Copies of this chain bind each other. A is one copy, B any other.
Amino acid sequence: MPEHADRTAGPGTGGPPGPQPDGPSDAELTALDAHWRAANYLAAGQIYLLSNPLLAVPLEPEHIKPRLLGHWGTSPGLNLVHTHLNRVVKARGLNAVCIWGPGHGGPAVLANAWLDGSYGEVYPDVSRDADGMERLFRQFSFPGGVPSHVAPETPGSLHEGGELGYSLAHAYGAALDNPDLLVACVVGDGEAETGPLAASWHANKFLDPVHDGAVLPVLHLNGYKIANPTVLARLPEAELDKLLRGYGHDPVHVTGDDPMEVHRALARAMDRALDHIATAQRVAREEGVTGRPHWPLIVLRTPKGWTGPREVDGVPVEGTWRSHQVPLAGVRDNPAHLRQLEAWLRSYRPEELFDEEGRPRPEVLAHVPEGGRRLGANPHANGGLFTRSLPVPPLEHYAVPVDKPGAALHEPTRVLGGLLAQIMADTAGSRNFRVVGPDETASNRLDALYAATGKAWQAEELPTDEHLAHDGRVMEVLSEHLCQGWLEGYTLTGRHGLFSCYEAFVHIVDSMVNQHIKWLRTARTLPWRRPVPSLNYLLTSHVWRQDHNGFSHQDPGFVDHVLNKSPEVVRVYLPPDANTLLCVADHVLRSRDYVNVVVAGKQPCFDWLGLEAARAHCARGAGVWEWAGTETGDRPPDAVLACAGDVPTQEVLAAADLLRHELPGLALRVVNVVDMTRLLPQEEHPHGMPDQEYDALFTPDRPVVFAYHGYPWLVHRLAYRRAGHANLHVRGYKEAGTTTTPFDMVVRNDLDRYRLVMDVIDRVPGLGVRAASVRQAMADARTRHHAWIREHGVDMPEVAEWSWRG
């Protein structure tokens, strides 16, 4: 689509066109510059000053912080973008948030939140006056204070500063289904080198101009990262321009190091970009134009550490990587540095910016928007304010009937697909539910969704295509990073979603989920942040059924990864069949502020529990399956067979089946665990079981043979404090993977029914001698299996056709 800057913009995210077609007047530019100077002053003040915030007296070493921390280099750029966003938000009445990619520029974002008053509303003692300014400075990166990076504590933020690369994906996630929202996004030129960011440029192929808001990327070419130039800043401008057009954008380049000229150019660029957005939305919304817009993008090329010290100790600092953190390091001990700092701070002419009480003067605030339109106060950045519960329909409609355990087979994720499809249909109006996945939604048996919605797609369509739709709410892109980033942005702005992923490849987002868990952990402690929908994973195509794809697809370690993290936030479920998966899904889709990991199979799996039994079992999280055991009630069991996960559950039941028939005198208990955190001590996780309950369930003194879905030592790590731990024997995946048959996967990892029977025989005191021939039959079955699969390529009939005898 061509750029329509000449046409009158209609309503929509871009708002009405700026009042002055030639850009702001000189007086306005002067006011913008005052705001920018004020923000720069406040950013530098946070890095350096303990007291004397207004420089009422000459600067002395005791006014300086003992440890100088924070990132100056990026701050003037962030301040500039914030200043100019203020103007357009106010002038056009926009509803906007901004994602600050270089989130290490905490001083800048905090400075702006203090200036627009939103900071003081959340933290009243950091008032918009000299006292508050002193507190703002002192608390920055100070024990008991606030982080040096943009964080949950920062009003207006929904993007953790720190690990770089996710800003643009978050921006798109926030814009989805928010048609009236503008999401500005500053992308650092260093950050742009990361994989997740590089992949995110193509997110514009998934953004619907009708139902979604707009994303306005501002690529900030300050030329450097920590200690190096950046790739994008060192491309010839024509090459960079091609790249950005290749990404589907219409770039507007703003370059300079003269403040007033840059103010003028950036103001014009913003107006042009917003007119362009408004037009693109209007033609799509009102004229039904369906072409993919070439959305605008601003390339802002200004010096790193702009307005800071030009040189320090004879080497250039402004405009180089040396300005990245603290440009003057010796201020407390080196009088020359101290004088240089004072000159730097005074260069902003603070007396023109703040009155005697330290309040920003009216000119500084002239372009700052009001109320919830301030970037520091936009409610979308506190998404819980918008959260509406999902209409989860009654599970009865989707549950599979179970007259007798283990008689019929269903694909659990396909059963879940029905439920998800209904939710998708029921949110057609509210548009607050999305399912994301790396091209595996159908492969994961969730294709019922396509009856309710399409797959988001704004690129070219061909007649053979199926289920693509401009307004689709299933999102498929071969980037786990993008899936995760979208869903984070979507849920942090108060909407719901599910990420379905191959179990092995979800490790791709290990570090992203880390950061999200950190965000939620901190956000939960902030009373002003409202709970947001949980981030839900459905991990399927799991380790036991990647026999055909082989070793590279076999890895159950994501559960281990998340269970290292804040227990307030993480939840892990391994439903053993279709109905338990429904119950778990119902629970996680209603929950808030968690990261829920659900591991469930897509292959046909026996139905063990009817809906009511499944509900009760999931509510318990772990429980005895009386119908599977042989306890009589008058004495403790001889052994406990425990299981977690669908395949381990099947093997445990097959082992129980063998034991019931081969060793009828044995008192056996079968325990299934759905919620892994129940194994943890009560003090270590909100779901942790009291010791009494654990001892009752697993016994304090009987052998427990535990068949676990993942790495076996995880169960030990969870249960090592329990009385019965010495009797706990865990089988699980121990990296004995390859391309083979499904049953061979469990045999190779000693998780198979025959091995489990042997484990019980070996561990029940006195049983070994009595059951020697049973044990031998088990070993023989394993040998037979080995030869059979090599000849036939499929599992033995006794395994493939097994079902629960009861």
Contacts and interface: CB of A to CB of B under 8 A. Distances in A.
Interface string A493-520: 0000000000011011011001100100
Given A477-B193, A504-B163, A720-B716, A460 B510 contact: no
Interface stretch (A136-144, A379-387, A623-631): A136-144
A753 interface: no
Interface string A428-468: 00000000000111110000000000010101111011001
- Mostly, the A contact residues are loop
Contacts of A246: 235, 239-247
A725 B191 CA distance: 45
Contacts of A439: 190, 225-228
A2 interface: no
Contact of A566 (B143, B194, B735): B735
So how many copies of this chain end up in the complex?
A: 2
Contacts of A711: 564
A800 to B, nearest CB: 11
Given A190-B439, A199-B193, A735-B566, A230 B478 contact: yes
Contacts of A602: none
Interface residues on A, range: 35 or more
A120 interface: no
A312 to B, nearest CB: 13
Contacts of A443: 226-227
Contacts of A234: 205, 459-461
Contacts of A476: 227-228
A143 B740 contact: yes
A216 B508 CA distance: 26
A148 B226 CA distance: 43
A516 to B, nearest CB: 11
A163 B316 CA distance: 45
A242 B505 CA distance: 31
Interface stretch (A32-40, A544-552, A700-708): A544-552
Contacts of A478: 164, 190-191, 193-194, 225, 230
Contact of A248 (B239, B245, B441): B239
B441 A227 contact: yes
Contacts of A504: 163, 511, 514
Contacts of A276: none
A343 to B, nearest CB: 22
Nearest to A477: B193
Contacts of A397: none
Interface in A779-796: 789-790, 792-794
A201 B461 CA distance: 26
A561 B740 CA distance: 25
A739 interface: yes
A134 to B, nearest CB: 14
A717 interface: yes
Contacts of A566: 735
Contacts of A147: 550-552, 738-739
B161 A552 contact: yes
A66 interface: yes
A740 to B, nearest CB: 5
Interface string A594-638: 000000000000000000000000000000000000000000000
A69 interface: yes
A744 B65 CA distance: 18
Given A243-B247, A793-B65, A505 B510 contact: no
Contacts of A94: none
Contacts of A230: 478
Interface string A711-755: 101101100100001000000000101111100100000000000
Contact of A507 (B165, B510, B549): B510
A342 interface: no
Given A476-B228, A479-B194, A522-B551, A794 B462 contact: no
Nearest to A190: B478
Contacts of A552: 147, 149, 151, 160-163, 515, 518
A229 interface: yes
Contact of A739 (B141, B198, B319, B480): B141
A557 interface: yes
A455 B549 contact: no
A164 B47 CA distance: 43
Interface centre among A550, A725, A792 (most CB of B within 10 A): A550
A143 B744 contact: yes
Nearest to A320: B464
Interface centre among A508, A552, A793 (most CB of B within 10 A): A552
Interface in A154-210: 160-165, 190-191, 193-202, 205
Nearest to A69: B548
A790 B143 contact: yes
30 contacts: A66-B793, A66-B794, A143-B739, A143-B740, A143-B744, A143-B790, A147-B552, A147-B738, A149-B550, A160-B552, A162-B552, A163-B552, A193-B199, A194-B195, A195-B195, A198-B201, A202-B231, A225-B478, A226-B439, A226-B442, A227-B441, A229-B462, A240-B246, A242-B246, A244-B246, A507-B514, A510-B561, A511-B555, A521-B735, A717-B717
Interface of A: 50, 65-67, 69, 104, 141-149, 151, 160-165, 190-191, 193-202, 205, 225-231, 234-236, 239-248, 316, 319-320, 439-443, 455, 457, 459-462, 464-465, 468, 476-482, 504-505, 507-508, 510-511, 514-515, 518, 521-522, 548-553, 555, 557, 560-561, 564-566, 711, 713-714, 716-717, 720, 725, 735, 737-741, 744, 789-790, 792-794
3 tightest Cβ-Cβ pairs between the two chains A and B: A243-B246, A162-B552, A195-B195
Given A226-B442, A243-B245, 5 more contacts: A66-B792, A143-B790, A146-B739, A147-B550, A507-B514
